[in-house]
Homo-oligomer: A and B are copies of this chain.
Amino acid sequence: MQNTRKGSGMRIGELARRTGVTTRALRYYEEQNLLTAERSGSGQRHYAETAVERIHLIRQLYAAGLSSKAIAELTPCVIEGRATPELLQRLAVERNQLDRRIADLTHTRDRLDSVIDGASSNLHTGAPCPRDANAETRTDSYRLAGTQPRPEAAAG
């Protein structure tokens, strides 16, 4: 395997170009223990080919809302397959949070859809403001989905 000429691995600039992230970010990832690199005698970082996909994984987990700390704890499991029951538990927790976020965002998207529908039809009919007579009907649709910050007290 490994028929790509890479010698002792690519340096940080090439990895940055190939992944689309800045060198600053790559050093930051290393600082956060998300990424390791071999060092040449003069201290320059050299990365293996696998680093490219690893960066993409890291970016995906960031996009999924995970913190660098969480990613650092979970990537050993995801990348190397090293799974303890505790890590699996954490993975499941993150997965479920992600699931709820997706559900909330989906509700919000649908809400935006209906808003757009209503407003554009108002534009077509020339009505500037749709609170003509059926205002109450709309106030009901204001409630979207979860995402309440702290439901400590709601019923008086």
Given the known A-B contacts A18-B154, A20-B150, A147-B59, are A109 and B83 also in contact in the complex, defined by CB atoms under 8 Å? Answer: no
Cβ of A120 < 8 Å from any Cβ of B? Answer: yes
User: How many copies of this chain sit in the oligomeric assembly?
Assistant: 2
Given the known A-B contacts A109-B102, A113-B95, are A57 and B88 also in contact in the complex, defined by CB atoms under 8 Å? Answer: no
User: Once the chains are docked, how many angstroms separate the CA of A99 from the CA of B145?
Assistant: 16
Partner of A119, one of B20, B21, B88, B109: B88
Of the 9-residue stretches A27-35, A38-46, A126-134, which lies at the interface with chain B?
A: A126-134
User: Across the two chains, which residue of chain B brings its CB closest to A57?
Assistant: B142
Query: Is the CB–CB distance between A63 and B105 below 8 Å?
Result: yes
User: Across the two chains, which residue of chain B brings its CB closest to A92?
Assistant: B116
